[in-house]
């Protein structure tokens, strides 16, 4: 039927039209969403600009909103390491040195960063200029020994680098929105044409320090030996004093024993002492000729009397005198 077919075609056309309109609206909404919403990833800063001028800074990760006529620029907020080429400087005494350093930095203020250096290449170019100026000034104010000496009181490389790092941090943050974390000295050397005399000078300094340490060691050794000798003398003196004390006590005790023996038997004591003296003076096996009236002969007669029990003395018999004894 012609009427029914026309109505069916009109209905189909209307459905298609509504579907097309829905698709168009969805596309417009999707396009608008893409133009108005953006995502900030972890480790990023986002800067919303309007006709090239910064209007909004987003530092937290998540979903952000902007108007369709605005643009978004993201900056990496992670740490960067900038290593410029080695540069020659002059120390306080005009000695040429070659220093190489590394700067650790990151974006701190996205707005100022965008307005001054724009991107990483521009930032590292500015950092190179700051580092060259500050490191050159610090080395120029310092003597060579401040970087190469082994004496803790003279070596100041770490303090000088800390000073350079502080100056670079202040300037970079104030002028470019860059946070300088640290400045590291990778190498510190001399130009090839200057190395032989400088190494000779350093060798002489090391020799002087070696002699100083050796002298201090010898001095300390002398002190230790002197202390040991004093202690030795003190110990020997105390030992000698104690030995003399014991010897005196022994001699006193012996004298008391001799005195007691003398008081109990003076004749026998005189006999024993005489015999001891004779034994020390006369070799063994010697024939001794004594006069009959000698004291030693009389003692020997008395000794024979003591050895025989004193029988003759008790009976009143006179002792027999002989002129020769063996």
> What CATH number matches the domain at 80-199, 3.30.479.30, 3.20.20.10, 3.30.450.40, 3.30.1230.10?
3.30.479.30
Q: What is the pLDDT of residue 307?
A: 45
Domain extents in the chain: 14-75, 80-199, 266-325
SS3 246: helix
Q: What is the pLDDT of residue 288?
A: 67
**Whole-number Å distance between alpha carbons of 203 and 180:** 37
User: 287 near 281, Cβ under 8 Å?
Assistant: no
How many of the other CB atoms lie within 10 Å of CB of 57?
15
User: In the 8-state DSSP scheme, what is residue 49?
Assistant: E
First-to-last CA distance in the chain? 187
User: 104 near 180, Cβ under 8 Å?
Assistant: yes
pLDDT tens for the chain, 326 residues long, are 444 455 666 777 777 777 676 777 666 666 666 778 889 999 999 999 999 899 999 999 999 888 888 999 999 999 999 999 999 999 999 989 999 999 999 999 999 999 999 999 999 999 999 999 999 999 999 998 898 887 888 889 999 999 999 999 999 999 999 999 999 999 988 888 877 877 787 788 778 888 888 888 988 888 999 999 889 888 988 898 888 888 888 888 877 877 776 676 666 666 677 767 766 666 777 776 767 666 666 666 655 444 444 444 444 444 444 444 44
Return the residue matching tokens 């010697």.
Answer: 286
Torsion over CA: 263, 264, 269, 272 (sign): negative
Q: What is the pLDDT of residue 280?
A: 67
* pTM of the complete model beyond 0.85: no
Q: Which residues have C-beta within 8 Å of that of residue 28, sequence separation ≥ 6?
A: none
User: Which residues, listed in sequence order, are joined to residue 189 by a DSSP beta bridge?
Assistant: 98
Q: Could you read off the pLDDT of 161-174 as tens digits, one per residue?
A: 999 999 999 999 99
How many of the other CB atoms lie within 10 Å of CB of 66?
19
DSSP 155-218: --HHHHHHHHHHHHHHHHHHHHSEEEEEEEEEEEE--GGGHHHHHHHHHHHHHHHHHHHHHHHH
* Overall size of the chain counted in residues: 326
């Amino acid at each position: 039927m012609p009427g029914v077919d026309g109505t069916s075609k009109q209905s189909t056309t209307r459905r298609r039209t509504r579907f097309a309109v829905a698709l168009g609206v969805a596309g417009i909404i999707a396009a608008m969403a893409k133009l108005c919403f953006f995502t900030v990833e972890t480790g990023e800063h986002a800067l919303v600009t309007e006709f090239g001028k910064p209007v909004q800074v987003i530092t937290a990760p998540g979903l952000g909103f902007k108007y369709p006529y605005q643009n978004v620029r993201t900056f990496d907020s992670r740490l960067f390491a900038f290593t410029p080429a080695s540069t020659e400087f002059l120390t306080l005494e005009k000695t040429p040195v070659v220093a190489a350093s590394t700067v650790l930095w990151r974006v701190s203020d996205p707005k100022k960063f965008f307005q001054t250096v724009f991107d990483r290449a521009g930032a590292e170019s500015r950092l190179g200029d700051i580092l060259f100026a500050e490191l050159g000034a610090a080395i120029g104010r310092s003597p060579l020994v401040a970087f190469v000496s082994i004496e803790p009181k003279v070596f100041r490389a770490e303090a000088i680098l800390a000073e350079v790092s502080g100056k670079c941090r202040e300037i970079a943050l104030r002028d470019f929105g860059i946070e300088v974390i640290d400045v590291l000295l990778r190498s510190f050397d001399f130009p090839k044409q200057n190395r032989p005399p400088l190494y000779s000078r350093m060798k002489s300094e090391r020799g002087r320090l070696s002699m100083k340490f050796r002298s201090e060691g010898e001095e300390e050794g002398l002190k230790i030996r002197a202390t040991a000798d004093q202690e030795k003398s003190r110990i020997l003196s105390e030992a000698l004093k104690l030995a003399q004390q014991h010897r005196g006590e022994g001699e006193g005790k012996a004298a008391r024993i001799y005195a007691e023996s003398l008081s109990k038997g003076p004749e026998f004591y005189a006999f024993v002492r005489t015999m001891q003296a004779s034994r020390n003076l006369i070799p063994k096996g010697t024939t001794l000729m004594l006069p009959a009236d000698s004291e030693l002969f009389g003692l020997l007669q008395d000794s024979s009397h003591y050895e025989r029990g004193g029988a003759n003395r008790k009976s009143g018999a006179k002792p027999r005198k002989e002129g020769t004894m063996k």
